[in-house]
Amino acid sequence: MIKTILTYPNPLLRKKAEPVTEFNEELAEIIQDMAETMFDAPGAGLAAPQIGISKQIAIINTSKKEDDADKEVLALINPEILSGEGSQVDEEGCLSIREYSAKVKRFMTIKVKAMTPEGKEIEFEADEFFARVIQHELDHLEGKLYIDLISSLKRNLYKKRLKKIIQTEAEKKSE
C-alpha cells in the first residue's frame, strides 16, 4: 500500500529509530509498503521513519533503469556504516524535504553491515551514488536530515521559504 510520506518539520523524522528484533511477515509487509511508496514518489531510497514507522529499516532503489518493469529493491535492516573513505559532493534532495535540494558532502566509499529481511547478516561495499543514497537513508534512521549538513545560512533561508509555502497552503484551505 502506498503510504503518506511525512515531511519536515514533522517531529517523527527526528526520532532515532528502534532496531528490528523480529524478522517476520509484518516486517515483509512494511518493506512492501515502503517499496510501493518509494516507486510511486519516485525516489532513490526510503527510510521507515519517513512513513511514520520508527524502525531501523531502509530501502534503496536498485532498479537498473527508472522505467524498468522489474523494479528492484535492496532492503537494509538495522544497518550500520562500518567505515567510510574519500569524499563526494553532489546535489541531494529528499522526499521529506519539500521543494529543495542542496549540495552535500558524503563519503565516496563505505563499508556497510546490515541484516536482510530474512534475518541474515550481510556486509558489502558501496561507492559513488549508491553510497550516497545509503548514507542519506541511514541518517534518517538516526533522526538526521540532509539539511543538517548544509550551512546554517542556507538552512535558515529554506526554513523561511518553507514557512511561506505552508502559510500559503493554509490560506488556500481556509478560503
Total residues contacting Zn ion by CB under 5 A comes to: 1
Pairing of strands 57-61, 73-85: antiparallel
Q: Taking the complex as a whole, how short is the minimal distance between the CB of residue 137 and Zn ion, in angstroms? A: 7
Minimum CB distance to Zn ion smaller for 6 or for 108: 6
- Choosing from 29, 137, 142, 171, the catalytic residue is 137
Minimum CB distance to Zn ion smaller for 94 or for 131: 94
Minimum CB distance to Zn ion smaller for 50 or for 78: 50
Give ∠ CA 39-109-17 in degrees, rounded to 5.
55
Among 17, 51, 94, 115, binds Zn ion (CB under 5 A): 94
Chain residue whose CB lies nearest Zn ion: 94
Stretch that binds Zn ion, among 10-18, 91-99, 125-133, 165-173 (CB under 5 A): 91-99
Residue 72 is among the residues annotated as catalytic for this protein: no
Q: Is 102 exposed, middle or buried (0-12, 13-18, 19+ CB in 10 A)?
A: middle
- β-strand partners of 90: 104
Buried b (16+ CB within 10 A) or exposed e, 2-17: ebebbbbeeeebeeeb
Report, as residue numbers or ranges, the catalytic residues. 137
* Residues near Zn ion (CB under 5 A): 94
